[in-house]
Structure 1
Amino acid sequence: MLPENIPTVTVTARYLTPDGRPMSGTVEFRPPALLTHAEEDLFLGGPTRATLDAEGRISVVLPASDAPGWNPAAWTYTVTEKLAGLPRGGRVYQIALAAAVPAVDLADIAPADPGTPQYVAVPGPPGPAGELGPEGPAGPAGAVHSVNGHAEADIVLGAADVSALAAASAGAPGGVATLGTDGLVPAAQLPAGGGAVASVNGQTGEVLLTATDLGALTQAAGDARYLALGGAPVASVNGLTGAVTLAASDVAAVPAGEGVLLAGPQEIAGAKSFVTPPSTKAAPATADQLTRRGYVDAVSSAGTWTPSSMGFSGWAFDPAVSSASTPQYCINGWVYLIGVPLHAPTTVKNVVFYIPGYVGGTLSVSSYAGLYTDTGTRVGLTANLTTLIKQTEGTTVVCPLAASYNAAAGNYWIGLVVNGPNPSNSGPAFLRAASVGEAPGGSARMPGKFIRHGRLSTTGQTSLPNSFPTDKVVADSNSIWAALS
């Protein structure tokens, strides 16, 4: 197979007898003895034979004889026809195959007359254009067809035809002035009087005018009366120029009547919110005046003890009204709930009990106290009570929560579960209030309201639950005192 870089030509032919029958035989294409193609490292030689097929046809692909790289550069194929039925078998002739003609039929290039030379050259592609020849001689001058619109044979132009003044008008009245050798208009061409200025503002001779002569201000008078450019001290007011009229919004102010006065009476409409509550030292003088918390506390709690008086945030009840002789002993595994109201938001850090007496050492590590919301969610838990309640004959026990809790105003339960001691005699005693009836009288309430003293219906607990359904709270006869701080 020939290398792809060598262009080829497909040669076809068909041979028939005069009555249309296909001829048989071969057609041989032979290049010169041996060709060399240096770029492809190739030698090419020997014949290529094409045998006529059943229709008398041949088709053969041969290298183009004008392809670059051949040595010799110019050569032709010798075509030898060896056909049955012809004297001497057929013809022998030369052909050249041009790469520019990739397909050729022998009928188009073979010699038709045996008397002509046995060589047919195939036209190649057109060669490059030659260089431009020298410029030819100049032609004759063209004729003038018109001048300034005149097309007659003999044209005579006047000054008006070229938009000029007639020479006779130079220096003449009604004409144009001319210049003398000094570059000035001669005096003879000037109007009567010589063209000189007779007077200036009534003055003659060498006139020197002052501001007064012109009805003008002197520099000093002008500076005193008018501002110099750029001399005005104010260029604009809040970005406004011209006749400026400012409104309250232009100076980031509140319109009159819309601000709160610092002194004097004033009615304020609409709701107002204060980031910092206002304070006052004065007591209210009328029933509809606002006042300070200290005044309210002093009036509402006058002569009484409050949780804050004792350092508590809230308590179940005043410990002074507790039962004088009967403490509360807790049954193992019961979860007791002691209600404590908080009337203001506060941070709860401790649960507090009063222990009238305890032999010590009987509590197990399954004893805890905690804080619950009125929905039954635990929000605080102490360490086990063995580390908090010690042997005593009467003391206030502060039980810190593991983490402080920011409590909103509302009702809370202190949860308590005790395990270990004999509930009759060896457990810690808890201060309590009166416990008359199945549920203590101190827990009286309307149906469905918050149960002030109760317990969970589930027993045998060794810890405080994370939460509990509030419908599982049972009103109980316990009325243990507890507080929050």
Structure 2
Amino acid sequence: MLPDGIPTVTVTGRYLSLNDGGQPLSGQVIFRAPSLITFPDYDVILGGPVAAPLDATGAFRVELPATDAPGMNPTGWSYQVAEQLAGVPMNRVYNVLLPAETPAVDIADIAPTDPTTPNYVAVRGDSAYEVAVKNGFVGTVEQWLASLVGPQGVKGDTGAQGPEGDDAYEVAVAAGYVGTVEQWLASLVGPQGAKGDTGAQGPAGAPGVVQSVNGVSAAAVVLDAAAVGAVPDTAPGAANGVAQLDETGKVPAAQLPDGIGGGAVETVNGKSPDTNGNVALVAADVGALATTVRGAANGVASLGSTSKVPDAQLPYDGWRPADLGMKAWAFDPAVGQSGGRTPSNGSFRIIAVPVRESITVSSLVFHVFGYEGTGLDTGSRAGIFNASGTRLAQTADMADTAVMIDIHNAGGQTVTCALTAPITLQPGIYYVCFRWVIGTSANAPVLMTADSTSACPVVTLTSVKPFGVISGMTSWPTSFAPSAIETDPIKFWAALA
């Protein structure tokens, strides 16, 4: 509150939004005087800007010292008004005088229309009442206002109604237009003009008024390092501060803990450096195994490309495919039945073969106990299918004796059937399938099978069936549905080479 006796002016105002139906604006109005104003007669010095916040109705009220108060130092100054309003693209800054002769004023009466005018100072002029007094009127403001209202005049007679004019469409018809109202309205719309070029970007607007800096609102904002999230410039090299870097980009030895850095290495894992200062360690020095023991006797197993131990490093008492010149097979032929079986004419036989590592296959392998007749008929083929039943590779028509390498005359022999092109198989389950057309002479080979005399169960927790048959297959397929495989007592042997 200002000391009693200092002339003051009460400034009020209200700000409403133009765009949304006159809703109250929010923000504040700042009044700035010279830094310090001295009133010797009242033993007081006034300083700092005065902020007048807008209330819920967009209004404010503030009491300020008059700009012409007697005994004030300095004199001859004006208030700088800064409007800080939310949602207003460009807030105004302008100067006003608040003389003591007008103890109450609304900001709307003194705010300039164009605050960009240099050194604009809003100065209050005489009111119409004051002009009337200067010109001889005697009386109060109310009496003067009443004198402006003359007696009410006599009400005039109602004029005669004029004739109704034609509407625009009727005028057009009278002028020769032919068509409906809708057609006439459509004729008034001209063609859409071509889109104009994009105008040049306008100059950047003036910067807004700063209301706070890092949350500090004051006429003279002073920030320290902590206010901007920085380390004080006194912290480098100081206790509880931060370390410095020398000209080489490293922390100086003086700022390192005792016993760290700055000295030569004496030993590494108990070994001393040689004459050149080097320490040579081997795997045993760091509790590790040498790389030479991978896959070696009394060493450790290595992992193949599938992250599994290769077959060659696994303990095995029986024969492996590679031991007999093959790359994968359905089962160890040692469990084969000595008599063998002959596939029925046109049956589509399926033999699952597991592949443990990436291999390239160029032939299919069968073991023939004997053969009768002149050979397989046209339409006989064998091939490799993936676990989904899609064909990947196949032989040529096996009626050609060259494909079977004399299988027609074989007896007690392992025979190879060449694929039309080699194929590389990644680890997984594959099907070796064949469909042989035997004909009326029953000239089919007798193939080695596993011991089985009745329908054996398929012992598996997956959808893979190790062997079986699909009935009704009348031609060599490009694919089949694994779910259609039927359990069959005959498990033929096949291999990949």
Q: TM-score range by the shorter chain?
A: 0.3 to 0.5
TM-score (norm 2): 0.39
TM-score (norm 1): 0.40
- Quick check: which has more Rg, 1 or 2? 1
